Amino acid sequence: MRTAQPLIVLCALVSFIVPATAQDEQPPNPQPKAATIEVTPEELELEVGDKAELVAVVKDEEGNVIEDAVVVWFSLARRSVGVSEAGEVEAYAPGDFELMARVPSSPDVDPRRDRDALTARVSVHIPAPPLASLAFVNMPGHFYAGTSVRPAFTVTDISGAARAEVTPELHSSDPSVVEITPLGHLRMVGSGEAEITASAETVSDTLQVEVSPNLIAALTLQGSASHVRTGDVVFFEAMALGTDDKPVPEMPIQFALRARTQSHGMGEPPSGLITDDGRFVADLPGEYTILASAGDHWVSATVAVEPRAVRRPIELLGQGRVADRKTSDLWVWEAPDGRDYAITGTWGAAGHAYVWDVTDPRNIQLIDIIKVDARTVNDVKVSEDGRIAVISREGASNRRNGLVILDVSAPLDGVKVLARYDDQLTGGVHNVYIYQDHIYALSAGRRYDVISIEDPRNPHRVGQFELDTPGHSIHDVWVVDGVAVSSNWADGVVLVDVGGGGKGGTPIQPVKMGSYAYPSGWNHAAFPYRSQSTGKFYVFAGDEAFPRQRNPLGTNRFEGPPVQAAGWIHVIEFDDLEHPREIARYEVPYGGTHNFWVQDDILYIAYYNAGLRVVDVSGDLLGDLYRQGREIAYFLPDDPQGFKANARRTWGTMPHKGNIFFADNNSGLWAVRLVPENESEPQN
């Protein structure tokens, strides 16, 4: 086994030589020990967009000010309020938050995990900005007696932020024509005209409503299928006809469902979904009746639903155990020599990346170790031709971080370092992606840089992309068919044309195509995918959250019980770039997602403490994929010899040549396979 040795070896030699040549010099005075830290002001109240300066004073045990003391600032809600290295605070969103100033006990200790660090806290109150505008949106052009309409609004404050939580007050000028219900709906009582006013704070909007007589003579309902499986989407079309047998224009039609599951006699409640536009899906097998109504007319249709029955056994093939440090992400590929390999990173350790021969997944072999100057090698990627790999660097001893480019064309002959690149990447590279001779590399969690590796020994930057929203941040980027899809936490999923999106973008000049954000702000990863069965373009967006249990600042992540993650996979339909819509979710109740992959209409998820999950995403998608029985298989990688014994924390996954490889934070590299339907279940 050959190990590539980077520049850190030279640094170690230099530190040994310097004391020998300077042995006659007087040692410098030791740094006074910090005893107290005081921050002023202790409380802040800022408007959205405002900035303020915090000043920290550190004193020793004698009460003397330590002028050059190192103070590290943290925001405990960095997407709502930010704080710079110099203590400059900026307010991004309303709420009550906390900032923290810490004096590390040693330069070699991560200040977030330093139990002995001095700490001061600052509370920040950011009031909600005044509202700037309110408007009715998406209202019908016709209104009919005997129907009701749920009004929709856009509400914006003076910072430009949408305020979805604001519920306007409604008033009707003539309740005998339009009545406001207790739930805020508009009920068309009789023919005539009325003015509806919506108001909130100092802003308002009016809607002129003309209610016509309800002349419906008949209501029809037609579904795309009457016998389906759980998870199959049935499209219903309802039509209101007048006395002339012609459709009544813009007649509001409401859908509802009632159901009887196969196991209703054992207390199983029905579960399904019918949307406003008539899309229906059932979670449980049984008989479902869809109701469509318009005024005093209604019609029904019945659908028989069978179990989806996609479950398959899963077989463990092999494991490449890593028990002395935490494992991060992985990549699996076929090299030019025809053999299959995997590369895995390490987290919070000493900058190692491992290269494995996985040609026989039942006999995984470690064949090389790359050591770089870093605490964490979070991400690893390999080029399309299997010749070049890139690994990310965080926590470098010289704080330059960046990335390392490797020759992996013949791993059995040793992996070679081709180049190191850190220009404008010194803040840390968390994730990378290789696409068509370019590396897309995150820079300090703010943007991604596009780096040409047409000559991998001489990488150079050619472009970059960064949002301009307040407090923006980025966690990941993935490129497919010339479209870069990034995960931007509270800003959600962002699609950018870098050569294939039809908007004129290139790696040199990326062009934004569209975006979608969801309320939690947990967007951590995203995978673009065009369905093989329907042709629809989806983005699968994954959460990362730890609301159940967190290791607080000053505690060691390597000790104590496993942290319990939360979150789910959001399925976003992106066929209309201007109007993407979230249509489905996959959520394991007791776990949280990390990284994932979609191939051949199957979703593979590294689901942290819920292990590896394999999910059927064929056909149209709608609703709760977990409850619909779309899960094909799962595997829980509990390892009594792991870094933390029997503490699964599945990090990343990737299918390769009919097998499924995944990396687990506490136990290393694993390989499993789905047992074919015509093959008996393996005996373990």
Check if the beta carbon of residue 280 is closer than 8 Å to that of residue 303: yes
Structure confidence by residue, pLDDT tens digits, 235-279: 999 999 999 999 999 899 999 999 999 998 888 899 999 999 999
pLDDT at 353 over 60: yes
Structure confidence by residue, pLDDT tens digits, 28-43: 456 678 889 999 999 9
- Alpha carbons 198 and 149: distance in angstroms, whole number: 14
Please list the residues that pair with 416 across neighbouring strands. 407
Q: How far is CA 162 from CA 133, 156, 512, 583, 610, in A?
A: 10, 5, 20, 21, 35
Compute CA 181 distance to the chain's CA centroid, rounded to the nearest angstrom. Answer: 38
pLDDT of residue 33: 85
- Alpha carbons 391 and 353: distance in angstroms, whole number: 8
Rounded to 5 degrees, what are φ and ψ at 264? -65, -30
Check if the beta carbon of residue 88 is closer than 8 Å to that of residue 50: no
Report the percent of the chain where pLDDT is more than 70. Answer: 92
- Alpha carbons 310 and 643: distance in angstroms, whole number: 34
User: Angle CA(167)–CA(172)–CA(178) in degrees, nearest 5?
Assistant: 110
pLDDT of residue 459: 98
Reported confidence tier of residue 15, pLDDT bands at 50, 70, 90? very low
Compute CA 615 distance to the chain's CA centroid, rounded to the nearest angstrom. Answer: 18
Q: For 169-194, b where at least 16 C-beta lie within 10 A, e where not — what string?
A: ebebebeebbbbeeeeebbbbeeeeb
pLDDT of residue 247: 94
How far is it between the farthest Cα atoms of the chain?
Answer: 108
Q: Which of 78-87, 118-127, 193-202, 307-316 has the lowest mean pLDDT?
A: 78-87
Rounded to 5 degrees, what are φ and ψ at 13? -65, -40
Reported confidence tier of residue 610, pLDDT bands at 50, 70, 90? very high
- Alpha carbons 517 and 528: distance in angstroms, whole number: 15
pLDDT at 294 over 80: yes
3-state SS assignment for residue 671: strand
Rounded to 5 degrees, what are φ and ψ at 66? -95, 105
pLDDT of residue 548: 56
> Tokens at residue 13, please?
């030699």
Q: Of 378, 395, 458, 389, which Cα lies nearest the Cα of 423? A: 458
Structure confidence by residue, pLDDT tens digits, 502-516: 999 999 999 999 999
Ranges 111-120, 605-614, 673-682, most confident: 605-614
HSE toward the beta carbon, residue 469, CA cutoff 13 A: 18
Rounded to 5 degrees, what are φ and ψ at 382? -130, 140
The answer for 517, left when phi > 0, alpha when psi is -120 to 50, beta otherwise, is beta
Q: Which domains does the chain have, with CATH numbers?
A: 37-126 (2.60.40.1080), 131-212 (2.60.40.1080), 216-306 (2.60.40.10), 311-466 (2.130.10.10), 469-553+561-635 (2.130.10.10)
Q: For 671-681, b where at least 16 C-beta lie within 10 A, e where not — what string?
A: bbbbeeeeeee
- Alpha carbons 594 and 29: distance in angstroms, whole number: 47
- Alpha carbons 105 and 109: distance in angstroms, whole number: 7
> Tokens at residue 666, please?
């506490």
Give residues with Cβ within 8 angstroms of 453, minimum separation 6.
Answer: 388, 390, 405, 434, 437, 438, 439, 459
> Tokens at residue 477, please?
């980027």
pLDDT of residue 230: 98
Counts of helices then strands in the chain (DSSP H, E): 1, 56
